[in-house]
Structure 1
């Protein structure tokens, strides 16, 4: 009587290599991605002679060259901005509010906005600026 051997099974594929690839992709996109909200329009901040690094956290109010306003990356009206900021500041009055205004925007759009934000109870407001490029020859 002849017994036949059971056919040998191939070992199952390991998914360790796939997990490594997914992990590296996750790290890559976390490093190159922006974590803060971007405005739905182009904003080129004004150039400053002095300044400090921008603290993280808080909320960002963006102002386009035409005076259009966005809050944390979403277009809003001034009344919508007021209500959202008022809710955020009621929960945490120390919330940093960044004003990211285009360098071409007229002050008549920025100064009333600053007064509105301060009127809502904001204790810390920062104006986003671009540092002046350093001349290596000097």
Structure 2
């Protein structure tokens, strides 16, 4: 017989490694499924309008209040060149114009886009 005093049992250490694995898997999942939008090349305030559908196009033509264009990371004349190289079967071109842009200037931009072969465009607005 063993008459030595019984050693108190220590609680087993909690396994934290599986929890860390789950956290990292969730982090990877959210990073892989997130849609990261590129920042706008300059600050614009879209015009007010009612109705319409939300825009889904990723690459947009940005027009500032002074009509300087930006498309796909290119600005100025390079933006017009990038628009000329846009495929014909692409989705309608999404235009993000500033509310301060005069309508006559926007009409000239639309005419220039038609000259490049882009006939289908959508203008982004903000709800009233």
TM-score, normalization by structure 1: 0.64
Quick one: structure 1 residues 28 and 105, their matched pair in 2 at CA, closer, same or farther if it must change by over 3 Å? same
d(CA) in 1 for partners of 2:95, 2:40: 11
- Aligned residue for 1:100? 96
d(CA) in 2 for partners of 1:43, 1:19: 42
Quick one: structure 1 residues 16 and 127, their matched pair in 2 at CA, closer, same or farther if it must change by over 3 Å? same
Long gaps (5+) in structure 1: 1-12, 133-138
* SS state at 1:88 partner: coil
Quick one: structure 1 residues 67 and 19, their matched pair in 2 at CA, closer, same or farther if it must change by over 3 Å? farther
Long gaps (5+) in structure 2: 1-14
d(CA) in 2 for partners of 1:113, 1:103: 15
Runs of 4 or more above 6 Å deviation: none
TM-score, normalization by structure 2: 0.69
- Aligned residue for 2:115? 119
- Aligned residue for 1:76? 75
- Aligned residue for 1:20? 22
**Does the CA contact (< 8 Å) of 2:37 and 2:58 recur in 1?**
no
**Does the CA contact (< 8 Å) of 2:59 and 2:94 recur in 1?**
yes
The CA deviation at 1:48 is 0.3
C-alpha RMSD of the superposition:
2.8
- Aligned residue for 1:48? 49
**Does the CA contact (< 8 Å) of 1:58 and 1:95 recur in 2?**
no
The CA deviation at 1:61 is 0.5
d(CA) in 2 for partners of 1:106, 1:67: 9
Q: Deviation per CA, 1:80-132, whole angstroms, max 9, x where unpaired?
A: 1222122222xx43332111011122224322222122221124210001122
